[in-house]
Amino acid sequence: MKICIYGAGAIGGYLGVQLARAGADVSLVARGAHLAAMRERGLTLLAGEEKHTVHPRCTDDPAELGVQDYIIITLKAHSITGVIGTMQPLLGPHTRIVTAVNGIPYWYFYKHGGQYENSTLESIDPGGRQWREIGPERAIGCIVYPATEIEAPGVIRHVYGNNFPLGEPSGEITPDVQRLADLFVAAGLKAPVLDRIRDEIWLKLWGNVCFNPISALTHATLDVICTDPATRALSRAIMMETQGIAETFGVKFRVDVERRIEGARKVGAHKTSMLQDLERGRPMEIDPLVTVVQEMGRLTGVATPALDSVLAMVTQRARIAGLYDGISTPSDPRALAVA
């Protein structure tokens, strides 16, 4: 089984070490100092008191790797369109794409049913390129719950969590998704195969859509956002708007808003990924975490006044800092095109 991890940063590196230790034929696509360090010294994972180093094949040229059985995309979601061309040599007739990214994935409306079947969303897949050139039929959904970070080039630190729920867009438990889940489990990871993967996508996005932009605007950590009365109320308002949108697509939330906020508060003084990107001068995941929810709200006719205000402010904040390379905010349902 050949597996390519495309975008071997913190999460990709964590997966790379664990899968390699389980005996999988793993290759990693990376760049810069991180790639140079992995080539020279291998890839090291620090987990508590444990230290593990593996030596998988690492490259910045996917053409060297050949056709893969699975490509696990661990890039930031807004970066995927830019690598579609270089990803092509990895794709064979049976290659599966595992979208281990935050937010709504490009394949969301594949096998969805109803009036939005086979639609694409401009905010996450401009021009429908991922849909056309990668293909929704290849996709396996994956939600990333662990927290990891690059401690130094070639060195990944695992902070907490090992849960990677998986699921086919159709809800079927196919041999492909079961084989991948079995490998993840053999690698010491949790990988439940879900028949309603979209519910889990929205459950994670439910927090990201509010906590991430609020943190980027206030520089507050999760415990502060969820404790301060004003930011807690704003988070709740955005989450209620988001829930209204998701439920029009048949999504079911297994916890209520207050429990979700409390869960985030208990994480403690954690900086969201968007705040970390802002502080490190990296483009922020505004479109896949926030703009896409607004776009889906426009599509369904669900008003999003709280989300609209926060989105406008965080987008302007990112533009001033030179950290926004996304699309213009969609203003009407025509932004959604049918593939």
Which active-site residues does the annotation give? 204
SS (H, E, C) 195-234: CCHHHHHHHHHHHHHHHHHHHHHHCCCHHHHHHCHHHHHH
Q: In this structure, what token pair is assigned to residue 103?
A: 């937010």
Amino acid at 115: Q
Cβ partners under 8 Å of residue 336, min gap 6: 116, 119, 120, 121, 122, 295, 299, 330
**Cβ–Cβ under 8 Å, residues 18 and 187:** yes
Rounded Cα distance between 221 and 212, Å, is: 10
Rounded Cα distance between 29 and 7, Å, is: 6
Rg of the chain in Å (alpha carbons): 19
**Cβ–Cβ under 8 Å, residues 91 and 116:** no
DSSP assigned state of 193: B
Q: How far is CA 54 from CA 25, 41, 173, 249, 315, in A?
A: 12, 9, 31, 43, 40
Closest CA to 10 of 25, 80, 247, 18: 18
Q: In which order are the strands placed within the sheet that holds 147-152? A: 50-54, 43-47, 155-160, 147-152
Q: How far is CA 233 from CA 217, 227, 239, in A?
A: 15, 10, 10
Rounded Cα distance between 313 and 253, Å, is: 28
Question: DSSP string covering 253-285, please?
Answer: -SS-HHHHHHHHHHH-SPPPHHHHHHHHT----
Instruction: Characterise 161 by phi-psi region: left (phi > 0), alpha (psi -120 to 50), beta (else).
Output: left
